[in-house]
Amino acid sequence: MIPENFEKSLETLSLLERMQQITTLFAGKKIVFSTSFGQEDQAITHAIASQKLAIEIFTLDTGRQFQESYELIDLTVKKLGFNLKTYFPQTSAVEKLVETKGFNSFYSSVENRKECCFIRKIEPLNRALQGADVWITGLRAEQSDNRADMPIIEWDAQKNLYKINPLIDWSFETLENYLAEYKVPQNPLHKKGFISIGCAPCTRAIAEGEHPRAGRWWWENSQKECGLHA
């Protein structure tokens, strides 16, 4: 389905042009974009909303977000004018987790943390992707070693869809320039040292020189992934 050299043809295009080409290629298919309202996702959201592209935008509300994140969601939807679908964890699963292990079990072990991530993020994501043909993400190669070799377009056999990472080859400088040029709303926590923002109890500010994802699950010696893109 993907024309030969299509991915290479995207390399010289702007983000706005990339999103246009992707939408054209998959015309008639269900294309979805998952946003956590981080800087990368804000750039893609702008590219979709400003061009009114036929892409469904959704987010996962874990129930443990920063207040600043909720405020950014409302501001972004209002300013860019798009419909946002929100998926929540299954109430029964959260209740069982808290009843058996408490509110902060994720601090106890990597296994407990991954269990919490599965309940609050992975399971809702799986529901959100049901019926989708194309899943767009805000991944960048610079974010972690696990993402360094990801292509712009890949086939996700486990989820049975195409996964597209339109910013995978972008530098952080390119990202910042885009956000500034189009005056895209950003989370005020970024200016306080929170580069990668997740759930409030699992995110801290980073010091100068630290890896961008060092503030995620900082108490762990792990690959710093929740499983959404593993």
Binding-site members are 116-117, 199, 202
Rama region for 224: left / alpha / beta (φ>0; ψ in -120 to 50; rest): left
DSSP character at residue 34: E
Q: What are the binding residues for [4Fe-4S] cluster? A: 116-117, 199, 202
Q: Is 226 a catalytic residue?
A: yes
Choose, from 97, 161, 189, 226, the residue flagged as catalytic: 226
Closest listed residue to residue 60, CA positions, set 39, 84, 92, 76: 84
DSSP 41-98: HHHHHHHHHTTT-S-EEEEE--S---HHHHHHHHHHHHHHT--EEEE---HHHHHHHH
* 205 vs 213: CA distance, rounded Å: 10
CA gyration radius, the chain: 17
- Residues with a catalytic annotation lie at 226
